[in-house]
Structure 1
């Protein structure tokens, strides 16, 4: 399926090799960075974001390209400069309920990296929350609720929440839609049956 706004596909990953390629914190950070801008970036530009050397970042970009998650962008005129961009607007993983053990293990490894990244972001917020403005401090939120809900209601709720987030995701993708005072915010959304 193609998103007409950005012209990039929405990707559902079912291949365990791709899942294993993504199961690295630096690669997820690179994908996050590339997904937040319409401008292609160099390995050096990504390195500044992920905290690695340009050569290490270049290695991760090549691994992501091999997995089909990033691609080389057209050069800005300097043939020595290699530019990269995201190959998908958004992506999700879905091994499937009946997936082979190898695929389930790859999915679990990738989810472990996601969970660790989420926890690191929460800890980072706790460390610096006293230094942010009152406006941002009051706007931030963490919530934990247990809902009594049917599978159909959960599907409807997920659809509604994702629809609410979509305009803000589009805003980050387009350089011309920046809003004064806007900053990146991590939105972690998980809905899982407890029993």
Structure 2
């Protein structure tokens, strides 16, 4: 699992900086619910100060300031360059984002509870954002904002038969492409680009393994012909 927020001006000559691989200590540092909310807010709406974030989230600036420092301590955020907030520091997500060995942490009894907390929150919020968008699209009374965006949004499922090695290669290539392309738009904020909205790309890559004791994939579809090629559904 990777959360990435790449810099508008990559620091590496070959492209965006690599994601930070976090350890168990940093993972525990992210488990606090307010820290997760602060990181989400910075990712969605760009650089901000503790005071700005406190007002948005209904928290005191003292509380947000403390938890922002903890996020910085573990490497998830950093001071935003080129911004002066007087006595307050402007923060932004770490360029390149972060990643973790989720399967490894889940297999360790000591780290399993905290990774379940972090991943559970991540997937719940991810699903909630998508459901929120689809609910607005399906509403018979659509706002002008929804009408403006509905034809720009997309939802696609693609399938192909691969080996684990081919799947890893495909995943790396896809991640690199998305990172390079998204770097064009990073660094924007609602204030600097008022005509934009935060656009979210959700990707998952996983095998449809047969359910235990059957030859049918767990999703319920019958096994496909091995010779069948990739398909895409809009």
Q: Compute the TM-score of the two structures, normalised by the length of structure 1.
A: 0.73
Q: Which runs of 5+ in 2 are unaligned?
A: 1-6, 12-16, 210-234
Aligned with 1:163 (options 176, 199, 208): 176
2:167 equivalent in structure 1: 154
1:140 equivalent in structure 2: 153
The aligned length equals 189
Q: Note the alpha carbon deviations across 1:116-140, whole angstroms, 9 max, x for none.
A: 1112202321343332343521222
Q: Which runs of 5+ in 1 are unaligned?
A: none
1:184 equivalent in structure 2: 198
> Which shows bigger deviation, 55-64 or 4-13?
4-13
> Which shows bigger deviation, 112-121 or 132-141?
132-141
Aligned with 1:58 (options 44, 65, 81): 65
CA contact (8 A) 1:22 1:110 kept: yes
Q: Do structure 1's residue 30 and structure 2's residue 44 form an aligned pair?
A: no
> Which shows bigger deviation, 109-118 or 99-108?
99-108
Taking a change above 3 Å as real, the CA distance of residues 187 and 40 of structure 1, as seen in their structure-2 partners, is: closer
Q: Do structure 1's residue 10 and structure 2's residue 28 form an aligned pair?
A: no
Which structure dedicates a bigger proportion of its chain to helix?
A: 1
Mapping of residues 45-194 of structure 1, within 5 Å = 45-50=52-57, 52-72=59-79, 76=84, 78=86, 80-95=87-102, 97=104, 100-129=108-137, 130-131=142-143, 132-144=145-157, 147-175=160-188, 182-194=196-208
Q: State which structure, 1 or 2, has the greater radius of gyration over its C-alpha atoms.
A: 2
CA contact (8 A) 1:25 1:117 kept: no
